[in-house]
Amino acid sequence: MYFLPLLKLDSVSKYFGGIKALDNVTLEVDHSKFTLLIGPNGSGKSTLINVVTGVYKPDFGSIFLEKTNVTGKKPHEMYKLGIIRTFQNPQIFPNLSVLDNVILGVSPIRGESIFRSLFRPFWIKEEEELAEKAYNILKIVKLDRLWDRPAKELSGGQLKLLEIARALMTKPKLLIMDEPLAGVNPQLAREILNILTDLKKDIGIFVVEHRLDIVANYADYVYAMFMGKVIAKGSTNDVLNNPTVIDAYLG
Q: What is the predicted pLDDT for the residue at 120?
A: 54
Show the 3-state SS of the chain.
CCCCCCEEEEEEEEEECCEEEEEEEEEEECCCCEEEEECCCCCCHHHHHHHHCCCCCCCEEEEEECCEECCCCCHHHHHHHCEEEECCCCCCCCCCEHHHHHHCCCCCCHHHCHHHHCCHHHHHHHHHHHHHHHHHHHHHCCCHHHCCCEHHHCCHHHHHHHHHHHHHCCCCCEEEEECCCCCCCHHHHHHHHHHHHHHCCCCEEEEECCCHHHHHHHCCEEEEEECCEEEEEECHHHHHCCHHHHHHHHC
Q: What is the predicted pLDDT for the residue at 124?
A: 64
CATH 3.30.390.50 is held by the domain 1-82+172-251: no
Report pTM.
0.90
Q: What is the predicted pLDDT for the residue at 91?
A: 83
Q: What is the predicted pLDDT for the residue at 53?
A: 97
Query: What string of pLDDT tens digits covers the 251 residues of the chain?
Result: 567 999 999 999 999 998 999 999 999 999 999 999 999 999 999 999 999 999 999 999 999 999 999 999 999 999 999 999 998 788 889 999 999 999 987 755 544 554 555 555 555 667 788 899 999 999 999 999 999 999 999 999 999 999 999 999 999 999 999 999 998 999 999 999 999 999 999 999 999 999 999 999 999 999 999 999 999 999 999 999 999 999 998 87
Q: What is the predicted pLDDT for the residue at 127?
A: 77
* Domain residue extents for the chain: 1-82+172-251, 97-171
